[in-house]
């Protein structure tokens, strides 16, 4: 289970970095979103992965640290999801305003021609 999660985090991070290096603003925004998803998965994995564990402690049973998962990373990820959604919405509004003002969606504001000359 940990290997699958580690591979998923790696794929999301590498795809996000690839998209961050693209020249168009929408691709940059999607790269930031993928990296935030990878960070959320990483934080979530810090709370230990438990299989067949009780979500709520049973009365009369002494709670051991190894029996339950840590709820703090789950709360942090839930907060990060809300913040990431708001960040993505803000970036999309800024991207649309920038495209309206400049007429292009390139990060540097100028569209390069096929031959490399402007």
pTM assigned to the model: 0.75
Phi-psi region of 109 (alpha: psi -120 to 50; beta: other; left: phi over 0): left
Question: Closest Cα partner for 107 from 14, 19, 28?
Answer: 28
Burial of 4 (0-12, 13-18, 19+ CB in 10 A): exposed
The predicted pLDDT at position 75 comes to 87
Kindly give the parts of the chain with pLDDT less than 50.
Answer: 118
Domains of the chain: 2-49+68-102 (1.10.287)
């Amino acid at each position: 289970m940990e290997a699958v999660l580690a591979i998923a985090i790696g794929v999301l991070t590498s795809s996000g970095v690839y998209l961050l290096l693209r020249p168009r603003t929408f691709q940059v925004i999607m790269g930031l979103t993928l990296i935030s998803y990878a960070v959320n998965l990483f934080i979530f994995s810090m709370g230990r992965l438990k299989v067949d564990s009780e979500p709520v402690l049973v009365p009369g049973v002494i709670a051991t640290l190894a029996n339950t998962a840590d709820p703090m990373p789950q709360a942090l990820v839930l907060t990060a999801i809300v913040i990431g959604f708001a960040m993505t919405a803000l970036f999309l509004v800024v991207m649309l305003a920038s495209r309206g003002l400049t007429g292009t969606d390139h990060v540097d504001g100028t569209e390069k021609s096929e031959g490399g000359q402007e």
